[in-house]
């Protein structure tokens, strides 16, 4: 909704990541869909659910997401280029999900994207596990009708959400972390009930910051969207 000089947004409780906060990939996709651009979004702090938020211009090709005077996220228009690995087949991706580390213990088991406690047709249930014969994680994805529009295609914010959590699980063994920055580019949206493959891979790490890539492929294994994420480990507690 356009409101004054900005756009008013709200994140439904269904689309949570950590308890009480928006899933980062979904939120970034919501902002991107509102502005109709490829964006890099920096997440400054957890974004509350069921709350009226203001997306306001903050300079040329820059915006900020606010709740009152508090700046929750900052976005800037950008382009994205990634070397994307070859995906496994849909069946191979389903097999990879059997190795999903989140089954052994999950910091946010109700996460909309990757939470194992979410029921079918509620969460995306993207369980990205180690794929055989390569350094990537992969998951099969069969998006349901609740994610689609009148055209039968998955809405862009859900494409962006699907590109979020598989990146963290590509880090394999890194402590529970939070998405700090996310850049997603959607070439085209997949169809509802289309067997898709989502992959994630590590790009590099520097201290507590870890850079990852993710991509979504359609049933013909043609790339439909990809993203770069920066995950940040919390500082160790000082006793």
Which DSSP symbol is given to 18?
S
Q: How many domains does the chain have?
A: 2
pLDDT in tens, 6-47: 899 999 999 999 999 999 999 999 999 999 999 999 999 999
In a domain, 39, yes or no: yes
SS (H, E, C) 196-209: EEEEEEEEEEECCE
- Residue corresponding to tokens 């992969």: 138
3-state secondary structure of 60: coil
Q: Are residues 192 and 228 in the same domain?
A: yes
pTM for the whole structure: 0.94
Average pLDDT, rounded, for the chain: 94
On whether both 37 and 120 belong to a single domain, the answer is: no
**Residue at 82 is within a domain:** no
Contact 39, 80 (CB under 8 A): no
Q: Residue 210: which domain range?
A: 90-232
DSSP annotation of 87: P
Q: How confident is the model at residue 2 (pLDDT cuts 50, 70, 90)?
A: very low
pLDDT at 237 over 60: no
Confidence of residue 134 (pLDDT cuts 50, 70, 90): confident
The Cα–Cα gap between 48 and 205 comes to: 29
Q: Is residue 40 within 8 Å of 76, Cβ to Cβ?
A: yes
In the DSSP assignment, the letter for residue 123 is S
Q: Which residue, chain included where needed, has tokens 């049933």?
A: 219
Q: Does residue 195 share a domain with residue 110?
A: yes
pLDDT at 6: 87
Residue at which a domain ends, from 77, 107, 133? 77
Indicate which CATH number applies to the domain containing 27: 3.10.129.10
Tokens representing residue 17 in the block = 């990541």
Tens digit of pLDDT for each residue in 70-104? 999 999 999 999 999 999 999 999 999 999 999 99
Say if residue 158 is in the same domain as residue 73: no
């Amino acid at each position: 909704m356009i409101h004054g000089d900005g756009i008013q947004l709200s994140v439904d409780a269904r689309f949570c990541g950590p308890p009480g906060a928006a899933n980062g990939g979904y939120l970034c996709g919501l902002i991107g869909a509102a502005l109709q651009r490829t964006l890099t979004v920096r997440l400054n702090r957890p974004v509350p659910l069921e709350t009226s938020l203001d997306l306001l211009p903050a300079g040329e090709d820059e915006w900020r997401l606010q709740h009152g005077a508090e700046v929750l996220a900052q976005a800037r228009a950008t382009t994205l280029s990634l070397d994307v690995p070859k995906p496994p087949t849909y069946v191979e991706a389903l097999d990879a999900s059997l190795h999903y580390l989140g089954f052994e213990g999950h910091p946010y088991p109700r996460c909309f994207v990757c939470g194992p406690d979410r029921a079918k047709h509620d969460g995306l249930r993207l369980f990205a596990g180690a794929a055989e014969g390569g350094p990537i994680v992969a998951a099969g994805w069969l998006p349901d009708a609740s994610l689609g529009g009148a055209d039968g295609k998955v809405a862009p914010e859900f494409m962006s959400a699907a590109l979020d959590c598989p990146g963290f699980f590509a880090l394999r063994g890194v402590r529970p972390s939070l998405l700090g920055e996310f850049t997603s580019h959607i070439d085209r949206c997949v169809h509802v009930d289309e067997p898709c493959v989502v992959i994630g891979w590590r790009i590099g790490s520097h201290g507590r910051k870890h850079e990852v890539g993710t991509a979504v492929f359609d049933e013909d294994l043609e790339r439909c969207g990809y993203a770069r994420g920066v995950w940040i480990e919390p500082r160790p507690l000082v006793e």
